[in-house]
Amino acid sequence: MKRFDIHRPDRAIEPALIDKIDNLTKPKGSLGMLERLALQIGLIQQTLSPELRNPCNILFAADHGIIAEGVSVSPKEVTRQQVEHFVRGGAGINFLCNQHGFRLVVVDAGVDHEFPEGSGVVDMKVRRSTRNFLHEAAMTSGEADLCLERGAEMVSRVHADGCNVVSFGEMGSGNTSSSSMWMHILTGIPLDKCIGAGAGLDSDGVRHKLDVLTRALEAYEGDGSLWSRLCRFGGLEMMMAVGGMLRAAELGMVILVDGFIMTSCMAAAIALNPAVADYAVYGHCGDESGHRLMLDALGARPLLRLDLRLGEGSGAVCAYPILQSAVRMINEMDSFKKVSVTKYF
């Protein structure tokens, strides 16, 4: 498995950051989450004057073999159609990236389709769709490792272009099934609490999904290692996002985490290398069943609750202005020492 050299931020600078934040012209703690974010970003960047540069949303797309079991109302061809939609510029993530100044990079991690050269889709395909994990491993260990490498490569590319804050999105019909399995494996939360409607299943559909995933769990005959189980039940786009997250932390970037699927990817990244947790900012708590439970299991404090369940990186990008406010606060507010205001707390 690919290794990443991730170091927790050096906390030697922390007292100076806290002193700067506490002595801005406001009551101590009165800007709440903005103060905590400014501290986290300052620690990540090892500076008293942090900055956010060239934000990027990397969207990985792939198909899932488990969709053959009727676990999603979204047919497989929707993955390919949506990828084409992204590069045309008319999807939900497009207007949000346009609004908030994000570069959108669309990556084929494993779509069961060949996009033509010049389509605007970055070709990082590992294989055309995962296998059906009800019957066999979704991907081999080698395929999963290649996903980590290619996800890391995508982050290296945007970092070389000056990006220091990155979010990740996904597209893949059936990928909430893989995310539910990862959530169960990584947190120990009962499987029925990890499963929701995905793209719009009704109650009968959710019960069927639970039945399929329960049987898949019972059918697993691997060695029981975390890596084996991630490979058995994961998605190519999900494993690629894990590699991207690990590489972003290795490069000292701020990682904006999106919804249910990307939170399960961050949980996997943390399980593989716990130091990545210090670089994660959780954009929102989504409307997918289980997301709040997973956030709680990670000790995460999401910035927004907008009842989103679109994926694509949408909630992470929506949360970006809050990070901007935190950085503006620490850089632009005066200190009590600088101006003639009595320190009144």
| Model pLDDT, residue 200 | 73
- The residue written with tokens 């503006």 in the block is 328
In this prediction, residue 282 has a pLDDT band, given cuts at 50, 70 and 90, of: very high
pLDDT at 182 over 70: yes
CA distances to 36, 143, 205, 255 from 226, rounded to whole Å, are 32, 16, 29, 23
pTM of the predicted model as reported, rounded to 2 decimal places: 0.96
Helices (H) and strands (E) in the chain, counts: 13, 6
List the beta strands (DSSP E) in the chain: 56-62, 103-110, 122-123, 165-171, 254-257, 280-282
In this prediction, residue 205 has a pLDDT band, given cuts at 50, 70 and 90, of: confident
| Model pLDDT, residue 50 | 98
Task: Give the residue among 90, 66, 73, 262 at the shortest CA–CA distance from 177.
Answer: 66
In this prediction, residue 287 has a pLDDT band, given cuts at 50, 70 and 90, of: confident
Give 290 or 199, the one with higher predicted confidence: 290
Lowest mean pLDDT among 85-89, 123-127, 284-288, 326-330: 284-288
Q: Which residues does the annotation mark as catalytic?
A: 312
Whole-number Å distance between alpha carbons of 40 and 254: 9
| Model pLDDT, residue 101 | 98
pLDDT single digits (tens) 9-43: 999 999 999 999 999 999 999 999 999 999 999 99
CATH of 56-322, one of 3.40.50.2300, 3.40.640.10, 2.60.120.10, 3.40.50.10210: 3.40.50.10210
pLDDT single digits (tens) 288-334: 779 999 999 999 999 999 999 899 999 999 999 999 999 999 999 99
Taking residues 87-94, report their average pLDDT: 97
Report which residue type is found at 288.
E
Residue 329's contacts (CB-CB under 8 Å, 6 or more residues apart) are: 21, 24, 31, 34, 35, 38
Whole-number Å distance between alpha carbons of 320 and 189: 30
Give 213 or 205, the one with higher predicted confidence: 213
Percent of the chain surpassing pLDDT 70: 98
Tell me the pLDDT of the chain averaged across its residues: 95
Give 205 or 301, the one with higher predicted confidence: 301
pLDDT single digits (tens) 40-60: 999 999 999 999 999 999 999
| Model pLDDT, residue 74 | 84
Q: How many CA atoms lie within 13 A of 153 on its CB side?
A: 14
User: CB–CB of 328/52 below 8 Å?
Assistant: no
Whole-number Å distance between alpha carbons of 214 and 212: 5
Q: How deeply is 158 buried, as exposed, middle or buried, from its count of CB atoms within 10 A (0-12, 13-18, 19+)? A: buried
pLDDT single digits (tens) 124-154: 999 999 999 999 999 999 999 999 999 999 9
| Model pLDDT, residue 344 | 60
Domain boundaries, the chain: 56-322
| Model pLDDT, residue 193 | 95
Whole-number Å distance between alpha carbons of 220 and 129: 19
Q: Which two tokens stand for residue 94?
A: 């497009």
Paired residues of 281 in beta bridges: 256
Taking residues 183-190, report their average pLDDT: 97
User: CB–CB of 126/150 below 8 Å?
Assistant: yes
| Model pLDDT, residue 144 | 98
pLDDT at 345 over 80: no
Whole-number Å distance between alpha carbons of 69 and 118: 34
Plot region of 257 (φ>0 → left; ψ -120 to 50 → alpha; else → beta): beta
Q: Which two tokens stand for residue 247?
A: 């590489």
Residues 293-305, buried b or exposed e (16+ Cβ, 10 A)? ebbebbebebbbe
pLDDT at 242 over 80: yes
Q: Which two tokens stand for residue 218?
A: 């019972």
User: CB–CB of 198/311 below 8 Å?
Assistant: no
pLDDT at 61 over 90: yes
| Model pLDDT, residue 259 | 95
